Amino acid sequence: MSDLADNAIDAARQENVARILEAAERLFRHYGYAKTNVADIARELDMSPANIYRFFASKTEIHQTLCLRMLGASYQQALEIAHLPLSASERLRRYALGQHKLTVETMLDEQKVHEMVVVAIERDWHVIEKHISRLDDLLAGIIREGIEAGEFADVDPAVAARCFGASLVTLCHPQIVAQCLAKENRATPDELVEFAIRALKK
């Protein structure tokens, strides 16, 4: 088979995968993850469930792919902040507050989306673990630069990054954010971020 034919097949496959993901996301958002099955997705696309299974082994795999896409947007935002020509402290501040804002806007304001994320977290999918590791690596890079600039104490950047991320879990973990939003006896996002950044300084 020619390269041209192979490319056409790949393009057609990618188009079908994109259509399935878009339909699944629409239904998950409207009806919820638990109330949507592969037959519903197939019906939305006017195709048979067997056709869906040509591209995805299960509803779980569709869900994983959607979550990976959502987490990709979170990582991209963090990556852009990490490369800003600002002090390490300011980049960490923008990172933490940006992640909190993204969590509230994309995972909580739309309840059905929140359900998708909660299911992923409860199943401890590798996509979640990989996302956390990638963010920790970004944070370690920012902290390392802060140490080199004399902004932070001389500590292990990898350990500091994990601790920094853990200290701000109430800002980024969808379930905890949902529980804390309406509580008046919780530290504000700004207070938490400033406390975490001060802990890195000399």
CATH of the domain at 152: 1.10.357.10
Residue 151 lies in a domain: yes
pLDDT-derived band at 160 (thresholds 50, 70, 90) equals very high
* Residues above pLDDT 90, as percent of the chain: 48
Task: Verify that 121 and 193 share a domain, yes or no.
Answer: yes
Mean pLDDT of the chain: 84
Residue 61 lies in a domain: no
Q: Is the pLDDT at 108 greater than 50, yes or no?
A: yes
Residue 1 lies in a domain: yes
Tokens of 93: 């501040």
The C-alpha atoms of residue 75 and residue 105 are separated, in whole angstroms, by 15
- CB-based contacts of 53, cutoff 8 Å, min separation 6: 38
Of 137, 136, 66, residue with least CA distance to 107? 66
Task: Verify that 106 and 156 share a domain, yes or no.
Answer: yes
Q: State residue 5's pLDDT score.
A: 46
Residue 47 domain boundaries: 1-56
Task: Verify that 16 and 113 share a domain, yes or no.
Answer: no
Task: Verify that 140 and 71 share a domain, yes or no.
Answer: yes
Provide the 10 A C-beta neighbour count for residue 183.
7
The C-alpha atoms of residue 135 and residue 75 are separated, in whole angstroms, by 7
- pLDDT higher at 44 or 63: 44
The C-alpha atoms of residue 200 and residue 155 are separated, in whole angstroms, by 8
Task: Verify that 72 and 42 share a domain, yes or no.
Answer: no
Rounded mean pLDDT, 102-124: 65
Identify the DSSP state of 37.
-
Q: Count how many domains the chain has.
A: 2
- pLDDT higher at 65 or 178: 65
Apex CA 125: angle with CA 40 and CA 69, to 5°? 60
Q: Is the pLDDT at 75 greater than 80, yes or no?
A: yes
Task: Verify that 161 and 194 share a domain, yes or no.
Answer: yes
Q: Is the pLDDT at 58 greater than 50, yes or no?
A: yes
